[in-house]
A and B are shown apart, each in its own frame.
Chain A
Amino acid sequence: MADVELRGVRKRFDGTQVIRDVDLRIGDGEFCVFVGPSGCGKSTLLRLVAGLESVSAGSVHIGGEDVTARPPRERGIAMVFQSYALYPHMTVRENIAFGLEMGRARRAEIDARVRDVAGKLELAPLLDRLPKQLSGGQRQRVAIGRAIVREPKVFLFDEPLSNLDASLRVQMRIEIARLHQSMRSTMIYVTHDQVEAMTLADRIVVLNAGRVEQAGAPVELYRHPRNIFVAGFIGSTRMNFLAVRAEGGSEGTVAVSLPGGARLDVPVAGAGARPGEALTLGIRPEHVRLAGDGAALSGPVEVVEELGDEQLAYLRASDGTLLTARIPEGVRLREGQPGRFHLPPAACHLFREDGTALPRPRTDERD
């Protein structure tokens, strides 16, 4: 059993608070991804779990044991660094075996394990090369091999793929997913990449300025962001935000007036908003429609970006906000021509002035 638990963890570096009161439980065998803007404390949090940094307050538990005061080697973890951290003067074989030689394992056994791992990661033909004779992807595989050969209870990855080119990233992403499936060990993975986060994670933890904004399954964060930060952060193209005003509405809906005057009845769960309250309406570019029911915004289409299989259209609303829509290829839109963006009410999110979301109904899970 190797669940990881952080209780009230704080970290300060010479007076600056970097991690503030993080409470988090990562279940055994779970694939947990930390995301957040640069400098929010993802690496620091990972290093606190590893024991490379000590907590200023709170405690870290791995497999039910309090490891707060234990050095990294007694925590049963392995870590893959963004920079690979291979020993430059050792061959691939030596790099992988180096961590094992401590454990009083026998020569033959070490050899067998290195060969086993090399087979899994297709490193066998490279075993006698030095790191400088490898490509980035190969180095990354060696770094991963060095981690898995020790059979740790918990894997920590700090942006392992960020130095690779796009196609290699996809390939390595699939390999990591496969690895997690076959090993079923707990993995904590830091990334900037939306797609990596959405596809790999059992659970995503969104961090901002040292705090956990929301933790949950990828789809949960996508459909029910708890606040405007998570809504804006999750999703490969950023959510559109519009300033709107609550007009009233009955139980289960809030009526808002869009810039330009159109009214929209947005379904919500529970109590709505006070009439006259200033709200922010959020809608993802992939939910914006060019035709259909629901209120529409009109304005000039300023830019159209061709992405091959789809297009991104930017429309200037009457209050000056720039709205993005993802529309299928083949639809002809002209830059500079007037356009209409329809906002399906069920796809809309509403946020109060303090940034918290009005809960959305959970019945409608089709998108």
Chain B
Amino acid sequence: MAKDDLGLARVRVRAAWLFLAPTLAVLAAVAGWPLLRTVWFSFTDAELIELENYRFIGFANYLEYYEGEWLGLLADPQWWRAVWRTVWFAAVSVSIEAVLGMVVALALNARFPLRGLVRAAILIPWAIPTIVSARMWAWMLNDQFGVINHALLAIGAIDAPVAWMADPDLAMWAVVIVDVWKTTPFVALLILAALQMLPADCYEAARVDGIHPIRVFFRVTLPLIRPALVVALVFRALDALRVFDLIYVLTANASGTQSMSVYARQQLVDFQDVGYGSAASTLLFLVIALLTLSVVLLGRLRLEGESAR
């Protein structure tokens, strides 16, 4: 009997691998191989015009001591500014999206006429391709012809057109606003799904017990949807850390608004330096992996702390 069980388990494991094999093969081809090649290139001095001709140069792309000077990516202040800018962008935009997404989800969870229509309509910004919405916002934010300057002038909020993309700080906020506009629906939808799973009777019990709605939100709703909220925010944070198209369309290569991805692309394509660009890409990958890992570990610690309580 026990032997049969083992046999059955073995058959199941084999079937599982069989089903997984095609996906694994595709993943290896489209994700594993390019990733490995990028890591490999980061240790070479390859250039885009003649990719076949390269030398292995070790960690020189990352860090190198040359004629009394530290060189390489890790010594490049522009890279570190891009890193901090990206992290700042991810933190600010994801925080705003979390709060706004929660508000929108709570509103959509209430009963009102035409709710289905509004739920569908709110998804539109998320459905538009980033390139299109970025272009659209670039025009809206245009300093001479943009509708936003026009509107602000008309209501008297400003008395001269604002050059949104000229000042790096302002430009970063513009990027944040567009990102929030675009991805709040996504966060809202994930939260809404969690809200709809909540036990309705608990809320009736709270009503009978006379507990204030705000207290119910912080003591009942928030703890119960926390798992879904964390998943949504981790998703969003990973996305935001890789941000590229939005910034590239809105501000092109301006060094004041470069994110990690934009920096890597500039090295790879504009400067043709495949080795250095690959090093930037690899570091980008490591930074994201490190942040994800720490979030997951923190979450697990928190969970364990709670169950031990």
Contact = CB atoms under 8 A, between A and B. Distances in A.
Nearest to A84: B201
B207 A52 contact: yes
Nearest to A143: B205
B252 to A, nearest CB: 48
A187 B199 CA distance: 25
A229 interface: no
A73 B219 CA distance: 18
A235 interface: no
Contact of A85 (B199, B211, B215): B199
A150 interface: yes
Nearest to B215: A102
The DSSP consensus for interface residues of chain B is helix
Nearest to A82: B201
A78 interface: yes
Interface string B184-215: 00000000000000010110111111111001
Contact of A71 (B207, B215, B219, B223): B207
Contacts of B199: 83, 85, 88
Interface in B253-297: none
A98 B224 contact: no
B211 A77 contact: no
Contacts of A85: 199, 201-202, 204-205
B223 A102 contact: no
Interface residues of B, number: 17
Contacts of A87: 202, 205, 220
B78 to A, nearest CB: 47
A77 B202 CA distance: 16
Given A71-B207, A72-B210, A88-B224, A98 B202 contact: no
Contact of B207 (A73, A88, A98): A73
A79 B204 CA distance: 9
A81 B224 contact: no
Interface string A65-98: 0000001111001110101111111000000001
Interface string A145-174: 010001000000000000000000000000
A84 B205 CA distance: 9
A81 B207 contact: no
A78 B204 CA distance: 11
Given A88-B224, A98-B219, A102-B215, A81 B209 contact: no
Contacts of A83: 199, 201
A112 B205 CA distance: 22
A73 B201 contact: no
A50 interface: yes
A126 to B, nearest CB: 16
A99 interface: yes
A102 B202 contact: no
A81 B210 contact: no
Most interface-central of A52, A71, A89, A146 (chain B CB within 10 A): A89
Contacts of B215: 102
Interface string B62-92: 0000000000000000000000000000000
Given A52-B208, A71-B210, A102-B209, 20 more contacts: A52-B207, A72-B207, A72-B208, A73-B208, A73-B210, A73-B211, A79-B205, A79-B208, A81-B204, A83-B199, A85-B199, A86-B202, A87-B202, A87-B220, A88-B199, A88-B202, A89-B220, A89-B223, A98-B209, A146-B205
Interface of A: 50-52, 71-74, 77-79, 81, 83-89, 98-99, 102, 146, 150
Interface of B: 199, 201-202, 204-212, 215, 219-220, 223-224
